[in-house]
Structure 1
Amino acid sequence: MKLNTLLRTLLITLAFSFILAGCSAGTENTTENNETTIVTSFYPMYIFTQNIVKDIPGIKLENMTEPQQGCLHDYQMVPADLKTLEKADIFVINGAGMEAFLDKVIKQRPSLKIVEASKNIELIKDPNGEKNAHVWVGVSGAIQEVKNIAEGLAESDAKNADAYRKNASEYVKQLGALKEKMNKELKEFKKKDVITFHEAFPYFAKEFGLNIVSVVEREPGTEPSAGELAGLINKIKSTNVKILFAEPQYSAKAAESIAKQTDAKVYMLDPVVTGEKNAPADRYIKTMEENLKVLVKAFKENQ
């Protein structure tokens, strides 16, 4: 009887030791992984957030979608996306209807903190009243989105609030200088009639005085029908528009076909929706500087 009691006592002691060891290991992992994970929905949000969180200890930044994904108009989430979001403390989105899958995210992670970059920004609407979500393509829109992201992160992660705001302020100054440079170089051109590839550029056009006469693809990735193409060609001929902007994210086949049948010339304008993985923090500014070179060349050749 005494032997049984002794054995039972030893077993209980060993079991208790394992429990304590398990708890101890869990505590160590929590300490080692005591970081704030911020996930962004797609490429431009990643670039903006990267500038806001730079050099802040304990911050891990991930982009949910592949950097070549482009706009998320009809994007369907895959299991890998949900797995990425499982680790997220904060989810940074563009908003304005860009992330059509957001309801699914909220259902899966109701307590996830969501930061909406386009919050309280006045949105441009098309003739049908549909809101245009491409706020970041205009530099002023990018500036406001950066401010909104910084404030959203500051509210969600108070201990780093000052650092977020400081980094955002520095980046906003860089964006402000970019905006001033672009305005200065583009204001000398009087004729700025253009055809754009899809509805990514209304904010950009409004900011820099471009007149978008028509759009090749109303729905990105959906080539115009023969009738739509014929109508667009007739419009270009009647309005004498010489500049047709294609985008590196999509096939330029339709644009090139239009150019062959008109006097228009195709140029590449990048709405900054795709790029390389782990893109450098200056990628938005660098891409816009390249866009400026393209615009200046196009307007000089077609005044």
Structure 2
Amino acid sequence: MIKRTNFSVLKRFSALLLMLVILGISVLTGCTGAGENKNKSQGSTYTIVTSFYPVYVFTKNIIGELPNVELINMTEPQTGCLHDYQLMPADLKTLEKADAFVINGAGMEAFMDKVIKQRPELKVIEAAKGIELLKDENGEENPHIWVSITGAITEVKNIAEGLAASDAKNAAAYRENADKYVRKLQQQSDKMHRELDGLKNKNIVTFHEAFPYFAKEFGLNIVSVVEREPGTEPSAGELAELVGQIKETGVKLLFAEPQYSQKAAETIAKETGAQVYLLDPVATGEKNASADSYIKAMDENLKVLVEAFKQVQ
């Protein structure tokens, strides 16, 4: 009789203990899971790295005020166009943090082979994707699409779609922000057309192959380009040839760029009587530039063009 009682008590105690153990595991598992999900949702950051200034500004507008999205411009500071930029160890370290790398594409980033070799799994978003490229007299494709506002609009849309595809949680916000920015860009383009379309003599000389898209959009006629390789001063023979060409065509307006020396421009102006103005291809800018910096630069370009063309109408 005693043995049966002890066995019964032991059986009930074992069942109770088993139930407590199961309940304890469930509680602990539930708490741990909730904690992990909470930490992930609060602390997860989507990091976007951009290749250089104009793409950075476009992407900044697309991100807007989204929380938990970090934007880093890889080539900061940068003194000229990106053509011959060499990747540094610090750049590759920056890209290690990237969930997506936004580039202009169209051959602008000559270092992409090295990036892909180092980070083959990295999501690369190409702003110039699907855009028909202009070619120079040698058949070389021109990557300076963003200098045209129409080109900038297409690049913004491409970036937004690329980010939406790679970061689905924020897809709707990316598209909405891009639409708002595109409307502002279109307003600036319309303003520039109103000011420039009626002008007759729009013959100019530029100092870099940055402006063909811009010229096409606003009807400018680029008679000659001084520096085929940006930042490379023309030789004495090339200068003499340019001076002769400018005298022959009667071009009175030379447009240099704020990113480069104006020495050659001043020499040509002295020999031909032409006037030198600065036109910004928006290839570089201040660190942590404001979201409206591209539009402000284009508005400044408009003021320069209007003032310059007054001299030749």
TM-score normalised by structure 2 residue count:
0.87
In structure 1, which of residues 240, 244, 253 is the aligned counterpart of residue 263 of structure 2?
253
Describe the SS at the equivalent of 2:65: coil
Q: Deviations over 1:270-294 (max 9, x none)?
A: 0001111100000000000000000
**2:201 matches 1:191:** yes
Q: 1:43 — aligned with what?
A: 53
Kept in 2: contact 1:89–1:112 (CA 8 A): yes
Counterpart pick for 1:129 among 139, 143, 154: 139
How far apart are the structure 2 equivalents of 1:83 and 1:204? Answer: 35
- Whole-angstrom CA distance in 1 between matches of 2:79 and 2:98: 20
Equivalent of residue 164 in structure 1, options 152, 174, 187? 174
CA 86–29 in structure 1, closer or farther in 2 if over 3 Å, else same: farther
SS of residue matched to 2:272: coil
Q: What code does the residue aligned with 2:309 have? A: F
Q: Quick check: 1:64–1:84 contact (8 Å CA) kept in 2?
A: yes
Q: Which runs of 5+ in 2 are unaligned?
A: 1-31
From 59, 62, 68, the equivalent of 1:52 is: 62
* 8 Å CA contact retained: 2:80, 2:260: no
Q: Which amino acid aligns with 1:210?
A: L
Q: Give me the whole-angstrom Cα distance separating, in 2, the residues matched to 1:95 and 1:67.
A: 20
Q: Does 1:155 align with 2:165?
A: yes
**2:227 is aligned with what amino acid?**
E
Instruction: Kindly indicate whether the alpha-carbon contact (under 8 Å) linking 1:68 and 1:276 is maintained by their aligned counterparts in 2.
Output: no
Larger radius of gyration: 2
Shift of residue 302, structure 1, vs aligned partner: 1.7
Query: How large is the Cα RMSD of the aligned pairs?
Result: 1.5
Matched-pair contact (CA < 8 Å) for 1:42–1:63: yes
Distance 1:29 1:95 in 2: 36
1:143 equivalent in structure 2: 153
Q: Which residue of 2 aligns with 1:62?
A: 72
* Superimposed CA distance per residue, residues 96-137 of structure 1 (whole angstroms, 9 cap, x where no aligned partner): 000000011011111100000000001000111100000000
2 CA distance for matches of 1:302 and 1:287? Answer: 23
For 1:86 and 1:150, how far apart are their aligned partners in 2? 22
Runs of 4+ in 1 over 2 A off after TM superposition: 27-33, 67-70
Q: Is the 8 A contact 1:43 1:70 kept in 2?
A: no
Q: How high is the TM-score relative to the length of structure 1?
A: 0.90
What does residue 306 of structure 2 align with? Answer: 296
Q: Distance in 2 between matches of 1:147 and 1:61?
A: 18
Cα displacement (A) at 1:33: 4.0
User: In the aligned structure 2, how far is the partner of 1:233 from the partner of 1:56?
Assistant: 52
Q: Does 1:182 align with 2:192?
A: yes
Deviation at 1:184, TM superposition (A): 0.5
> What amino acid maps onto 1:285 in structure 2?
I
- 2:111 pairs, out of 92, 101, 114, with 101
Where does structure 1 lack aligned partners over 5 or more consecutive residues? Answer: 1-22
Once residues 120 and 58 of structure 1 are traced to their aligned partners in structure 2, the CA distance between those partners, rounded to angstroms, is 30
Q: CA deviation at 1:56?
A: 1.1
3-state DSSP of counterpart to 2:67: coil
Aligned partner letter, 2:147: V
The reply on whether 1:276 has 2:291 as its aligned counterpart is no
Counterpart among 73, 91, 97 of residue 83 in structure 2: 73
Tell me the equivalent position of 2:3. none
Identity %: 70
